[in-house]
Amino acid sequence: MTSIGTGYDLSNSVFSPDGRNFQVEYAQKAVENGPTTIGLRCKDGVILACEKLITSKLLVPGSNKRISTVDRHIGIATSGLIPDGKHFINRARDEAISWRRNFKDSVPIASLADRMGSYAQAYTLYSSVRPFGVTAIVAGADNDGPGLYMIEPSGLYWGYFGAATGKGRQAAKSEIEKLNLSELTLLQGIKEAARIIYVAHDDNKDKEFEIEMTWVTKDAKTANAAVTGSRGMIWNGWVHEEVPKELLEEAAREAKKAVEEEDEEDDDAKGEEKMDEDL
Amino acid sequence: MFRNNYDNDSVTFSPQGRIFQVEYALEAIKQGSAAVGLRSKTHVALVALKRNAEELGSYQKKIIPIDKHLGVALAGLSPDARVLSNFMRQQSMASRLLYKRPVPVSRVVNSIADKAQVNTQHYGKRPYGVGLLIAGVDETGPHLWEFQPSGQILEYFGAAIGARSQSARTYLERHFESFPDVSRDELVLHGLKALRDTLQQDKELTTDNTSIAIVGIGEDLKQYDGPRVKRFLDLLGEDGTKSQRAARLDTAMDAGGADDDNDDELAGLLGESGPSGSAMDTTE
């Protein structure tokens, strides 16, 4: 920790002699401890999933959501400081509405990611504010098809096939890299997403958790509704919604089984190694 | 001398990504006396312990009615709670004026959460120093929310904030599974029992220091203070107003063996029910 004690890390918008803004780096630290959150851009839509640790059994299950709908066709998942995430999402909703007012169309995902990137960046410019303690994964679909972006506290953002943030991001990333996302369908994707959340959870097994999962999808019904909409083509027919309960439960069940089996194999392998050593 | 340089304002992250000013504000809640909230399928109840600064002084306000269907209990800085509750009343009135309907509980809770978040991100502002339990009923039924100075809001079946609130939470965790189907009176009784567990050894629940509010489906918020609390305290039964810990000590003293009861006392604090603990649940 060379940053501590130099005095360059006490205020936002201050460069250190080697050109770093420490307060932004510290904001990223807030995210690194946050819950694992992933996004998968599939062939026919996008998936958002996050691990929700159950901190108290008195909490109402299914309440206190971490993934929000920003516009009918866009969802955002945040990891890090939850209140900051709420603020960020409110701003994204305002941006989406303003785009509709100006252009009579639903906002393209790249444009929303750009606006929100700029918004996050503005909070790194002044000593009177602090950067957002969140990374946001933006999922949606437009004329270019499904889109997935991840915005960091610095304002930096990239488009992704698969994105991961939070505590288990390293494990999640290496699992995502094994997938062929340009061929994967949503129905296959939700099973992979559930499995990845279970794999990434591995480090703190003792805590119970539930999976929150949404997708951006388009079926015949919604596509038709978009075309026949009475106020003109202001919605592109893609919907951000919760993954149907039965599908999610099935995916979670399979994921749990797969991870447990993998663990057993690992244990067996270790056991054999041990026996070899003993011999 | 070691000095923490990262805790002077709410716009500075520590190297670990923490915001100390917000964490300190969370501590302010623990300085206030306890408040408990819990909900059934039909009702939400708030019970709170009032403190008086001196023997002849009046007791503080712990429960603030917002609207016919909405009320809050507070722990921490009460002036901050007044600012937030005034804001909630405005929201509530605006909803009735604009939409001719009472404001949904989640909407009003989200609005104060957003307000509180801004205070944690701008220089020259400070986080609110108060925790709230918001109880209300809307189209989707009864709801209980907890609000924190960080801008965090969470929906609960049962929640407790303020000094020694962990004891109340332990009680709620043990009993909340039965809450959905209990009657109005039983719900309040569970609340009082949870609140009772937060009491100091020499204290007991009285008509002076206990505040109750209940709201239900098709039933306006009703607040009980002073003599009107008596009916509920009577339901708790004799000696029931004392904390289980204090009562247990009393019994031990009577038996002349205070010393060997200390293990039970410790077990009780750790969440294990001591043998003499269950004997006090006369009303169950």
pLDDT tens digits for B69-113?
999 999 999 999 999 999 999 999 999 999 999 999 999 999 999
* Both tokens assigned to B237: 């039964």
Q: Does B17 touch chain A (CB under 8 A)?
A: yes
Per-residue pLDDT tens digits for B155-188: 999 999 999 999 999 999 999 999 999 999 999 9
Phi/psi of residue A53, each to 5°? Answer: -70, 140
Q: How far, in Å, are A74, A224, A259, B223 from residue A255 at the CA level?
A: 26, 34, 6, 49
Q: How many CA atoms lie within 13 A of B232 on its CB side?
A: 31
Q: What is the largest CA-CA distance in chain A?
A: 78
Length of chain A: 279
Q: Lowest mean pLDDT: which of A19-28, B66-75, B159-168, B252-261?
A: B252-261
**Helix, strand, coil in percent for chain B, rounding step 5:** 40, 25, 35
Q: Does B14 touch chain A (CB under 8 A)?
A: yes
Place of tokens 């995916």: A251
Q: How far, in Å, are A73, A200, A229, A248 from residue A47 at the CA level?
A: 12, 17, 26, 12
Q: How far apart are CA B108 and CA B102, in angstroms?
A: 10
Which runs of consecutive H residues, i.e. helices, occur in chain A?
22-32, 82-103, 109-122, 169-177, 186-201, 220-228, 245-278
Check pLDDT > 90 for residue A271.
no
Q: B142, exposed or middle or buried, with CB in 10 Å at 0-12, 13-18, 19+? A: buried
Closest approach of A254 to chain B, Cα-based (Å): 29
What's the confidence (pLDDT) of residue A160?
Answer: 98
What's the confidence (pLDDT) of residue A265?
Answer: 77
What's the confidence (pLDDT) of residue B266?
Answer: 41
Interface A-B, measured as beta-carbon pairs within 8 A, has a size of: 101
pLDDT band of A219, cuts 50, 70, 90: confident
Q: Which helix (H) or strand (E) holds A41?
A: strand A37-42
Bridge partners (DSSP) of residue B216 are B43, B219
Place of tokens 């016919």: B68
Q: DSSP string of B224-271?
A: E-GGGGHHHHHHH-TTTTB-HHHHHHHHHHHTT-TGGGHHHHHHHHTT
pLDDT band of B278, cuts 50, 70, 90: very low
Bridge partners (DSSP) of residue A213 are A49
Q: With an 8 Å Cβ cutoff, are B155 and A3 in contact?
A: no
Per-residue pLDDT tens digits for B110-123: 999 999 999 999 99
Q: How far, in Å, are A55, A169, A209, A254, A255 from residue A206 at the CA level?
A: 12, 19, 10, 20, 17
Taking CB atoms and an 8 Å cutoff, what residues of chain B touch A12? 11-12
Q: What's the pTM?
A: 0.87
Residues A200-228 have a mean pLDDT of: 80
Which residue is closest to B8 within chain A, CA to CA?
A10
Listed in sequence order, the residues at least 6 apart from A62 whose beta carbon sits closer than 8 Å to its beta carbon are: none
Q: With an 8 Å Cβ cutoff, are A4 and B117 in contact?
A: no
What's the confidence (pLDDT) of residue B271?
Answer: 40
Angle subtended at Cα B78 by Cα B76 and Cα B82, rounded to the nearest 5 degrees: 135
Q: How far apart are CA B75 and CA B63, in angstroms?
A: 10
Per-residue pLDDT tens digits for A231-253: 555 788 899 999 999 999 999 99
Q: How many CB atoms lie within 10 A of CB B238?
A: 9
Quick check: helix, strand or coil at residue B215? strand
Instruction: Write the ipTM.
Output: 0.89
Give the whole-number percent of chain B exceeding pLDDT 70.
82
Q: With an 8 Å Cβ cutoff, are B114 and A90 in contact?
A: yes
Q: How far apart are CA A216 and CA A44, in angstroms?
A: 9
Interface of A with B (CB under 8 A): 1, 3-4, 9-12, 22-23, 26-33, 56-60, 63-64, 81-84, 86-87, 90, 123, 127-131, 133
User: Parallel, antiparallel, or unpaired: how do β-strands A209-217 and A239-242 relate?
Assistant: antiparallel
Q: Name the residue type at position A182.
A: S
